Structure 1
Amino acid sequence: MKIGELARRTGVSTRSLRYYEQRGLLTARRDHNGYRRYSTDAVDLVLNLRRLLKSGLSVADVHRFGSCVASPDLDSTPCVPALAVYEQRLRTLDEQIATLTHLRHNLAAHTEHLRARIEAE
């Protein structure tokens, strides 16, 4: 199928499909006229890519999934690399949440301190 049809069937823009190809997540063969041609398996792959990237994973994270990312049913197919990616991403998010919570606590304390001083004047 051509890039326009793949875009239509997946709800992903042709620009995004070109980006996925640029980043090595999607491959296409080229016709003699240079048009991209994708296999029908590309639909599942693109739908998985879209879901994973929208979930907050990076392109590098998705690369670590290996061939699992092309699975017709990513959620039902055991994928050992995916588990490692999910666990690492969760650790990263937990660290970011802890940092933000600490920063928020400090900012709230400074705000209350300044508010009390202003109101005392």
Structure 2
Amino acid sequence: MRIGELARRAGVTTRALRYYEERNLLAPRRSESGQRHYTESALDRIRVIQELFAAGLSSKTIADLTPCVVDGKATPELLSRLAVQRDRLDAHIADLTRTRDRLDSVIAGASANMRTETPCKQGDSA
């Protein structure tokens, strides 16, 4: 199928498909005139790519991981590597949660000591 049909069926833009190709996430076959042609399996690959982007992985990481997907199915290596990425995200979430908790503490302390007039103008940063 050609790029427009694949984009429509996958629910993405042709620009996204070109980006995936540029990042070595998707490799269409080219006709003699240079037109892109995709197999049905490209739909499954696009779904995997989108899920990995939604999980917060970079295009480089996805490019490293997608060879571990065979016929739309995960290999043991892929599962192991995805677990590493999940652990990285868990650590980042924990860091963000600690930061939010610190901000809550600062806000609570500042609220207890709030003055009726403020020396800061909106938009100023402390």
Q: TM-score range by the shorter chain?
A: 0.7 to 0.9
1:94 aligns with: 90
Give 1:108 deviation, angstroms: 1.7
Seen in structure 2, the aligned counterparts of structure 1 residues 54 and 70 have a Cα distance that, compared at 3 Å, is farther
- Which secondary structure state, in structure 2, belongs to the residue aligned with residue 6 of structure 1? helix
> Which of 100, 110, 126 is residue 114 of structure 1 equivalent to?
110
How many angstroms apart in 1 are the aligned matches of 2:11 and 2:88?
A: 30
2:113 counterpart SS class: helix
- Segments ≥4 residues shifted beyond 4 Å: none
Match of residue 31 from structure 1: 31
Tell me if structure 1 keeps the 8 A contact 2:25–2:66.
Answer: no
Gaps of 5+ in 1: none
Query: How high is the TM-score relative to the length of structure 2?
Result: 0.76
Counterpart of 1:45, as a letter, is R
Whole-angstrom distance in 1 between the partners of 2:58 and 2:70: 16
Shift of 1:19: 0.5
* Corresponding residue of 1:85: 81
Q: Relative to total residues, which structure has the larger helix share, 1 or 2? A: 1
In percent, how many aligned pairs have the same letter? 37
Equivalent pairs counted in the alignment come to 116
Partner residue in 1 for 2:120 = none
- Which among 96, 101, 115 is matched to residue 105 of structure 1? 101
So what's the TM-score if we normalise by structure 1? 0.78
Equivalent-residue separation in structure 2 for 1:110 and 1:45 (angstroms): 46
- Equivalents in 1 of 2:99, 2:5: separation in Å? 47
